């Protein structure tokens, strides 16, 4: 019994030892295994970290988790940015156009609007641009000129752009408006110097039904002052005012009664009055009956048909560019005694003109010299087309 007891104890101890040794053998540390496990663990940790960072970046940008999707999303993002930029540019351009339009409107706001008209053809644009430039250059800050260009039907785009350049240069001072006269007064006019456009001024009251007053200017004029005072002049019941001329022989055969004879180169016209008294019809009838007898063309029409409502304009608004004072005095002496200009006023105007009219000779005629010739060429330089004017106009410059 005693041995059986010890034997049992030995068996139990042996069993426990076997179990302990088995456990130790199964869990014995292999260096290679440890190294591989370490590498795999680091790799797994790195991949997990990279995936987390990648996921964070992608989620932050709001893109998909696939690389292909990420590329597509980036392209879409670029497209959206580009589209946004294009829309922004379009909006800016639209805003600029609106601002430009508003600015053009603002140029006229709180200003005295003065209507002015010229008549021309393709040939006479060169002196005309000099006149328009002088008008715009000397405009007062509170004046804005609506300049109506009455032109022949063959007036080309070059001519239009040529004169329009004055508006582009002085947008805060003037606007150029073209009126195609088509076949109006066709066949009238004497020669290359007195052409059909000279008649166009006789239709201004019909062409501009909403304009009350207008200043008509020939292309061979130079404007040295703002014309607010002229447009607001007391017309004393007349419908047309002009610089006094001395040509009764041109109108003597038409039953002329009124001693006022004006030059058509500078006119202040009451268009409302011309419409009120029906002068358009009277003018048409007179031309139809006398078209072969019009010694001074439109000027004869003007002085005969409107003789009852014709008045002289202050001499500074149309004084001629006489070469000498003696020539000027001769003109003054030939005016009607009871209507002639005051001599002091006349010569003051000659030396301090507001509008110069180059009747004869012209400042651009070759071999001729006239008063205020240098001034004309000075304004020619301001047009931006000086070289072209010199080339196109038979010019004479010995100043």
Instruction: Please give the Cα distance from 167 to 165 (Å, whole number).
Output: 5
Give me the mean pLDDT over the 315-332 stretch. 96
Q: What local confidence, expressed as pLDDT, does residue 10 receive?
A: 53
Q: What local confidence, expressed as pLDDT, does residue 46 receive?
A: 47
Instruction: Please give the Cα distance from 217 to 147 (Å, whole number).
Output: 10
What is the pTM for the complete model shown?
A: 0.73
pLDDT over 60 (residue 2): no
Inter-residue contact 76 to 106 (CB < 8 Å): no
Residues 6+ apart with CB under 8 A from 111: 142, 143, 144
Count CB atoms within 10 A of the CB of residue 365.
16
The tens digit of pLDDT for each residue in 250-288 reads: 677 777 777 788 999 999 999 999 999 999 999 999 888
Please name each of the domains of the chain with its CATH number.
111-318 (3.90.550.10)
Beta bridge pairs of residue 216? 117, 267
The alpha carbon of 144 is separated from its chain's Cα centroid by a whole number of angstroms, namely 13
Q: What local confidence, expressed as pLDDT, does residue 297 receive?
A: 77
Residues 6+ apart with CB under 8 A from 341: 244, 312, 315, 332, 335, 349
Residues 6+ apart with CB under 8 A from 323: 361, 369, 370, 371
- In the sheet that holds 262-270, the strands lie side by side as 174-180, 143-151, 112-120, 213-217, 262-270, 240-244, 310-312
The tens digit of pLDDT for each residue in 35-89 reads: 444 444 444 454 454 444 444 333 333 333 333 444 444 455 555 545 555 555 4
Give me the mean pLDDT over the 152-175 stretch. 97
Percent of the chain residues topping a pLDDT of 90: 53
Chain mean pLDDT for the chain: 79
Q: Which two tokens stand for residue 175?
A: 């606007």
What does DSSP assign to residue 203? Answer: G
pLDDT over 60 (residue 94): no
pLDDT bucket at 338, cuts 50 / 70 / 90: confident
Q: Taking Cα atoms as reference points, which of 139, 150, 149, 131 lies closest to residue 107?
A: 139
Q: What local confidence, expressed as pLDDT, does residue 82 receive?
A: 53
């Amino acid at each position: 019994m005693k041995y059986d007891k010890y034997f049992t104890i030995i068996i139990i101890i042996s069993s426990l030892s076997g179990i302990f040794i088995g456990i130790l053998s199964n869990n014995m540390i292999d260096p290679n295994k440890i190294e591989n496990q370490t590498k795999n663990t680091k790799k797994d940790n790195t991949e997990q970290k990279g995936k987390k960072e990648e996921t964070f970046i992608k989620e932050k940008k709001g893109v998909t988790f696939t690389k292909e999707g990420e590329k597509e999303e980036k392209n879409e993002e670029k497209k959206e940015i580009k589209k946004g930029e294009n829309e922004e540019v379009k909006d800016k351009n639209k805003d600029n156009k609106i601002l430009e339009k508003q600015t053009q409107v603002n140029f006229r706001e709180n200003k005295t609007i003065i209507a002015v008209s010229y008549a021309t053809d393709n040939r006479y644009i060169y002196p005309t641009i000099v006149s328009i430039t002088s008008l715009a250059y000397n405009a007062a800050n509170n004046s804005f000129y609506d300049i109506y260009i009455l032109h022949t039907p063959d007036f080309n785009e070059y001519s239009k752009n040529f004169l329009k350049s004055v508006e582009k240069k002085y947008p805060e001072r003037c606007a150029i408006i073209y009126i195609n006269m088509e076949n109006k007064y066709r066949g009238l006019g004497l020669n290359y110097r007195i052409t059909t456009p000279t008649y166009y001024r006789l239709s201004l009251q019909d062409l501009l039904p909403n304009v009350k007053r207008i200043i008509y200017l020939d292309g061979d004029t130079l404007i040295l002052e703002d014309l607010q005072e002229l447009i607001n002049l007391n017309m004393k019941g007349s419908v047309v005012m002009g610089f006094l001329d001395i040509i009764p022989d041109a109108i003597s055969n038409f039953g002329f009664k009124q001693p006022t004879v004006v030059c058509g180169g500078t006119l202040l016209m009451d268009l409302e009055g011309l419409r009120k008294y029906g002068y358009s019809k009277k003018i048409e009838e007179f031309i139809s009956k006398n078209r072969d007898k019009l010694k001074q063309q439109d000027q004869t029409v003007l002085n005969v048909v409107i003789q009852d409502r014709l008045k002289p304009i202050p001499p500074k608004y149309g004084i001629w560019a006489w070469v000498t004072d003696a020539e000027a005095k001769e003109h003054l002496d030939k005016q009607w005694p009871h209507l002639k200009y005051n001599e002091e006023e006349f010569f003051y105007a000659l030396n301090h003109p507001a509008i110069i009219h180059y009747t004869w000779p012209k400042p651009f005629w070759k071999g001729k010299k006239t008063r205020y010739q240098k001034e004309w060429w000075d304004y020619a330089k301001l047009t931006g087309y000086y070289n072209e004017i010199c080339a196109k106009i038979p010019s004479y410059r010995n100043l």
